[in-house]
Structure 1
């Protein structure tokens, strides 16, 4: 996923279908300089982590 699209999803009030390794995740924040995002699995909001944007897939 590119930086611009990840930012659009993170800022949108509408939930997008984003996957990381096949698991639906919520994008908390996007770091455009590092090309990473803070995400958490939808069923585990306490399990937040950073990943490279190229590992996210929008369905």
Structure 2
């Protein structure tokens, strides 16, 4: 996923499914300058990570 799409998903009113290595995650914040995204695992909010936007996949 590109960083622009991550920003769109973060700002969206509806829930858009996103995965990281097969895990369902929520986007918490986006650092466009560094193309990094802070996410947490949906079932475990304490499992937060900062990852490159390219590692995220939108689930259709």
TM-score range, shorter chain: over 0.9
Aligned counterpart, 2:24: 24
SS in 2 for 1:45: strand
TM-score (norm 2): 0.92
Aligned counterpart, 2:58: 58
Q: How many residues were matched structurally?
A: 59
Alignment of 1:34-45 (within 5 A): 34-45=34-45
State the distance in 2 between where 1:48 and 1:15 align.
Answer: 18
Structure number with higher strand proportion: 2
Structure 1 residue ranges without an equivalent (≥5): none
CA RMSD of aligned residues (A): 0.7
SS in 2 for 1:15: coil
